[in-house]
Amino acid sequence: MMNKKSMLSTMDPNTVSGVGRVFALLLICIAMGFVSPVFFTARNISLIITNASIMAILGVGLTVTVITCGPDLSVGSILTITAVVAVIMVKANFHFLLSFAVALIVGTSLGLLNGVLVTKIGLPSFISTYGLQWALFGFAYVILKGYVIYNFDADFRFIGNGYLFGHISMPIVVMMVVVFLGWFILRKTTIGRMFYATGANRDAARMSGIDTGKAILLAFGISGFLSALAGIVLVARINACQADIGKNILLPSLATVYMGGTRATGGQGGVFGTLVGAVIMTVVENGMNLLGVPSVWRNAIIGSLIILTVLANIAVSKQLEKAGSKV
Amino acid sequence: MIPFRSYIQKIQPVFWVTLLLMLVFNFFSSRFLSLHNIINLFQQGAVLLIVAAASTLVILSEGLDLSLGSVLTLSGITSVMSVNSGAPVSVAIGIGILTGLICGAITGTLISIFHMQPFIATLGIQGVYYGISLVLTDSVAILTKNSSFIFFGSRIGYLPMAALIGVGAFLLILLVFHKTPFGRYIVAIGGNESGTRLSGVNTRFWKWFLYTFAGGVTGFAGVLLASRLEAADPIVGVGWEFDAIAATILGGTSFQKGKGGVAGTALGVLLITVVRNGLNVIRTPSILQPALIGTILIIAIVIQVGLSMRSTKKEGKNKP
Amino acid sequence: MEGVHTLLEMQGITKVFPGVRALDSVNFELRAGEVHVLLGENGAGKSTLMKVLAGAYEPEAGKIFIDGKEVKIQGPSHAQELGIGIVYQEFNLVPYLSVAENVFIENFPRTRIGLIDHEQMHRAANELLCSLGMQVDTHALIHQLSTAQQQMVEVAKALKHKSRILILDEPTSSLTEREIEQLFSTIRELKRKGMGIIYISHRMQELWEVGDRVTVLRDGKYIGTRSLKETTPDELVTMMVGREVSFLFKRDFQTPGEEVLRLEGVSSTVHRLQNIHLTLRKGEIVGLAGLVGSGRTELARTIFGLEPISEGKIYLFGREIHHSSPSLMVQRGVALLPEDRKNQGLALILSVAENIVMASLERLFPRKYIHKQKEKQIVAQYIKNLRIVTPNQNRQVQFLSGGNQQKVVLGKWLCTEADIFIFDEPTRGIDVNAKAEIHEFMNELVKKGAAILMISSELPEVLGMSDRIYVMRERKIVAELSHEEASQEVVIRYATAADYASQTAGCVE
């Protein structure tokens, strides 16, 4: 006879919580289907997945930083400034690919700057990244001077609203590539192992000969790069850019990471969880729209979601520890 | 006394930079050091002084409160709403403070009872408090015409009310920090939490109480801000928590071991206020200001932290 | 002795931890106005006995009498009320509070309106410290004080409840000679006032300076009590060691090969290490003996590049090492198995497999791509060879037993195919079987040509396993002994500096 606890203890904890998350997603979807007839329409589903894509791209970068040393709280501002750079360049008649490249380079450099502030200056990551965002939002504001830039060329917009092979929306393609690469780097390369080891126990990692400073630098670099990519896809999709485009994106994308089961204190988690988290997050937002929840409630709901998820994660890992220690 | 001297030494660079900035601003615009503008400085700095003091207390315990800006907002809204619905001013102030206390108590519960990391808990709860602010105001600023509520902008002779209240509240917090067991337990929790618990102090309670207290203090600041602006705006507090953290760091408080103090934070607040006000006075285009201020603060923090890291290294070498 | 007031009597104290009888019917007695030394090797049960007295542990059996009346100690604060004060080896002080604030932290003197009465507090603290013969500004912050002064503050803190029994746990372990003198004069002063002091120490030479009687514990058992006037260091060492050196494992000794590691006059300001000379050859195990705090772990960390050296040279395989760092040392084939397994040796939330390959990522997967199959095979091999008990490779290490965790650390370093292994307390806190297995693995390693530097506080382990032994005391190497020269008595003498004169063999200084 096996009781529930010993069942839990024999399974890989990641599997247990992963299954739980997908199950939760299904439950939410079914509930949504009951309350809103349009929820399960093909149009709505594809809308959800497309919207989830941008969240997931950002979420992958956040996942890497959370695993390694702590969330990059500047993702929203890097997204904004790089989007601004890209649209300004393309409006100045630079080739759209060049504008993408410059935006990605700017994003990566800002990410590396975050890494330097953490590893060389010794600022806690949540201070330096939180602080940097105010300056970056400020610069975006300086560049755009409060105007909205809109209406870009089809070339530029393709990455946001185009379709590959006529059917698959581009944001989904980009997202799938990013998630795949994120999974590959984290799970299949020694770089990923460096990230996990650094986040799980920085002392032990260092004493195993791992260059933890390099790992942190790299993690923030990746996060900066993906923030820029998310910014490009976002402006290409909505065909407009203004200085507060990324202001409200940090909380929901951080929520996707925690919902995806990545450990708040680092060392555990992965991008597939984040993908599930991004879909849950988008379903919740979509649901709020369909149900006519006033948009003013959005922040409160997302904030509560973060807290409840982290609390739930703490509770689950305590249960698993209890179950595991009994074997 | 030795500790005080080293403390002064540590924040000396901030002092000189502030002085230099004042001279520079005055060079570009002689209005900067005018009586009128100095009064302005006090008015603008008073609210930040109070919030930054609260933030310093939290950071001294090796904690962090990113929700202070949202608490500032929410408590301003509840107090303006109550005064607009006919409540006496004293009750409105009380409601604002109570709002802050409740917000802080929730945050404290998440951190000290449920062991959430402070920055995640307060980042998440920040969303909730802003959310509630938006819901209460339906995203629009609420104005108030109640003449006794807007006391904060008034003056007693030359003395602005704001300066009196701001400095008064700051001194009170300083008193709490140095002269009450609670104040000392903040340093103890930051410096050696487990040792303090073994000495028989209920560190868990005091940690909870700290966030509650910080919430209450910020609630009071929120009322003052609403009183000065004669309105409650649902996004007025955005970014205040970072100004408060920056003032704390510039004031010589570190993130570790309860090192630092509340007094130095006043200097950090002065620097930030001088920068903000000075940029205005010398007519920097307002569009440039957020970027400039953000960059200046980051650089100042990097310099301050870098300098103090170097001095700790030296200290370590001198030890036998 | 007639007419002497007995403050404390402990009878038949027994304390059982899972699998270990930490205390087995131990007796102890303390008189007013005496310093009673509690002596024993690591793990003999001294600290456990004192924790029972301080209310931190509840004993399974036994009685405690204070002033002849039986008491049941309910917890730490009850112990304080009964007049028992304890100063732990690790201080409970707050670095950025003042001396006075630290003394009165859990019960500040208050004014009528509830504020801290600073005047009263500083006066009381000053009186307390003066009565201990300590001159210190009570306004000074703790972090500005020397370790000795901090300890005095702890003593003052322990004594403020009108305590009559004071427990000092290894009080001299991190003090300089002069500071120890200061501590001793304080102890004598307290004695004169009729306090009973329980003094836990390893250091033989100081016992006669400060103690009146001594009780020796061994393996959780009461061995005997002597008056220090009527006993000798030799007798005490014999009482402490008791048994013949029991070999846990029979090593195959062999002629060592070429030199792989050499330290020439290495000093470190960070760790206060002074002028260390040390060599390590292929195929030998070199023991590093010494008391806790003598600098062994610090030496290991310095060799491994975790902290810089300030003077001297380190040669690895005959080549001098510049700009050392852990990653460089790992690349060059050095392994460090730290004492603090859970915080430094393992990433507890990662799996057995992830931990085992953690230090060999670049060696195993030079193209940065992790071949899952290859990893699985390698890990399986170490799990099998080291007989690690785990349901599968993906098990989080935190769920393994202490012995198996240590084997995972060992596996991690075997996987790097290192040539030089530094073991810091390799068998601390693991059960007897796993211990023997670890010793067997170490034996095999040197047979295959590796070199091992082993830090251990367990003398039988050091003596049984080592080809040569360096003894450290106060951050210096004070002796180098061959396997034949070394015995428990000799090593303890060097480590504690008891009776230096009678020893001449093998001293490097």
pLDDT, mean of residues C405-411? 90
User: pLDDT tens digits for C44-73?
Assistant: 788 889 888 888 788 888 999 998 889 988
Q: For residue C263, what pLDDT is reported?
A: 93
Q: For residue C154, what pLDDT is reported?
A: 85
Chain B residue nearest residue A137, CA to CA? B291
Between the CA of residue C174 and those of A251, C95, C474, what are the distances in Å?
A: 49, 17, 9
Give the residue from C96, C108, C474 with the most B CB atoms within 10 Å of its CB, the best one to mutate: C96
Instruction: For chain B, say whether C118 makes contact (Cβ under 8 Å).
Output: yes
Query: Where is pLDDT greater, at A261 or B51?
Result: B51
Q: For residue B36, what pLDDT is reported?
A: 80
Q: Which domain holds residue B130?
A: 46-266
Q: For residue C245, what pLDDT is reported?
A: 40
Is a pLDDT exceeding 70 seen at residue A15? no
Minimum distance, in Å, between the CA of residue C343 and any CA atom of chain A:
7
Is a pLDDT exceeding 80 seen at residue B73? yes
Name the pLDDT band for B237 (thresholds 50, 70, 90): confident
Q: For residue B110, what pLDDT is reported?
A: 94
pLDDT, mean of residues C171-186? 75
Which chains, if any, share at least 3 CB pairs under 8 A with chain A?
Answer: B, C
Q: For residue C42, what pLDDT is reported?
A: 64
Minimum distance, in Å, between the CA of residue B151 and any CA atom of chain A:
31
Between the CA of residue C389 and those of A114, C160, C341, C351, C372, what are the distances in Å?
A: 42, 51, 17, 13, 21
Q: Which residues of C touch A321 (CB under 8 A)?
A: 398
Is a pLDDT exceeding 90 seen at residue B78? yes
Q: Phi-psi bin for C133: left (phi > 0), alpha (psi -120 to 50), beta?
A: left
Instruction: For chain A, say whether B140 makes contact (Cβ under 8 Å).
Output: no
pLDDT, mean of residues C238-254? 66
Q: For residue C149, what pLDDT is reported?
A: 82
Which of C399, C404, C358 has the alpha carbon at shortest distance from A13? C399
CB contact under 8 A, A130 and B110: no
In a domain, B284, yes or no: no
Q: Which of B138, B287, B301 sits opposite A141 (nearest CB)?
A: B287
Is a pLDDT exceeding 70 seen at residue A311? yes
Q: For residue B260, what pLDDT is reported?
A: 84
Cα separation of A77 and A133, whole Å? Answer: 5
Give the residue from B187, B253, B262, B315 with the most C CB atoms within 10 Å of its CB, the best one to mutate: B187
Q: Which residues of C touch B194 (CB under 8 A)?
A: 92
Q: Which of C106, C115, C176 sits opposite B201 (nearest CB)?
A: C106
Burial class (CB in 10 A: 0-12, 13-18, 19+), C252: exposed
Query: Where is pLDDT greater, at C242 or C46?
Result: C46
Q: For residue C509, what pLDDT is reported?
A: 30
Q: For residue C453, what pLDDT is reported?
A: 95
Q: For residue A5, what pLDDT is reported?
A: 42
pLDDT, mean of residues C9-30? 84
In a domain, B292, yes or no: no
Tell me the pLDDT of chain C averaged across its residues: 84
Q: Which of B181, B196, B201 sits opposite C116 (nearest CB)?
A: B181
In a domain, B319, yes or no: no
In a domain, B157, yes or no: yes
- Across C342-450, the runs of DSSP E, i.e. the strands, are 420-424
Q: For residue A263, what pLDDT is reported?
A: 86
Is a pLDDT exceeding 60 seen at residue C502? no
Least confident of A240-244, C235-239, C241-245, C458-462: C241-245
The arrangement of strands across the sheet holding C84-87 comes to C69-71, C61-66, C6-17, C20-31, C221-227, C213-218, C35-39, C196-200, C165-169, C84-87
CB contact under 8 A, A299 and B290: no
Q: Is the pTM of this model over 0.95?
A: no
The amino acid sitting at C453 is L
Chain A residue nearest residue B246, CA to CA? A131
Chain C residue nearest residue A189, CA to CA? C369
Cα separation of B148 and B91, whole Å? Answer: 12
Q: For residue B319, what pLDDT is reported?
A: 35
Is a pLDDT exceeding 80 seen at residue C134? no
What is the count of structural domains for chain B? 1
Cα separation of C354 and C359, whole Å? Answer: 10
User: pLDDT tens digits for B124-178?
Assistant: 999 899 989 998 998 888 888 888 888 777 777 777 788 888 899 999 999 999 9
Token pair recorded at residue C142:
């703790």
pLDDT, mean of residues A201-228? 95
Minimum distance, in Å, between the CA of residue A62 and any CA atom of chain C:
20
Q: Are C251 and C453 in contact (CB under 8 A)?
A: no
In a domain, B231, yes or no: yes
Pairing of strands C6-17, C61-66: antiparallel
B297-301, C145-149, C412-416: range with highest mean pLDDT: C412-416
Minimum distance, in Å, between the CA of residue B309 and any CA atom of chain A:
8
User: pLDDT tens digits for C151-161?
Assistant: 888 888 888 87
In a domain, B14, yes or no: no
- Number of residues assigned to chain B: 320
Is a pLDDT exceeding 90 seen at residue C391? no
Name the pLDDT band for B6 (thresholds 50, 70, 90): low
pLDDT, mean of residues A11-16? 56
Tell me the pLDDT of chain A averaged across its residues: 86
Q: For residue A51, what pLDDT is reported?
A: 83
Instruction: For chain C, say whether A188 makes contact (Cβ under 8 Å).
Output: yes
Q: For residue B109, what pLDDT is reported?
A: 95
The amino acid sitting at B76 is G
In a domain, B316, yes or no: no
Least confident of A137-151, B135-149, C162-176, C370-384: C162-176
What interface predicted TM-score (ipTM) does this complex get?
0.84
Q: For residue A62, what pLDDT is reported?
A: 94
pLDDT, mean of residues A78-95? 93
CB contact under 8 A, C269 and B317: yes
Q: For residue C163, what pLDDT is reported?
A: 83
Burial class (CB in 10 A: 0-12, 13-18, 19+), C363: middle
C-alpha torsion C172→C173→C177→C178, nearest 10: -50
pLDDT, mean of residues C288-296? 84
Name the pLDDT band for B10 (thresholds 50, 70, 90): low
In a domain, B35, yes or no: no
Q: For residue A323, what pLDDT is reported?
A: 64
Q: For residue A217, what pLDDT is reported?
A: 96
Name the pLDDT band for B4 (thresholds 50, 70, 90): low
Tell me the pLDDT of chain B averaged across its residues: 86
What share of chain A in percent tops pLDDT 90? 41
Q: For residue A72, what pLDDT is reported?
A: 94
- Specify the DSSP class assigned to residue A121: I
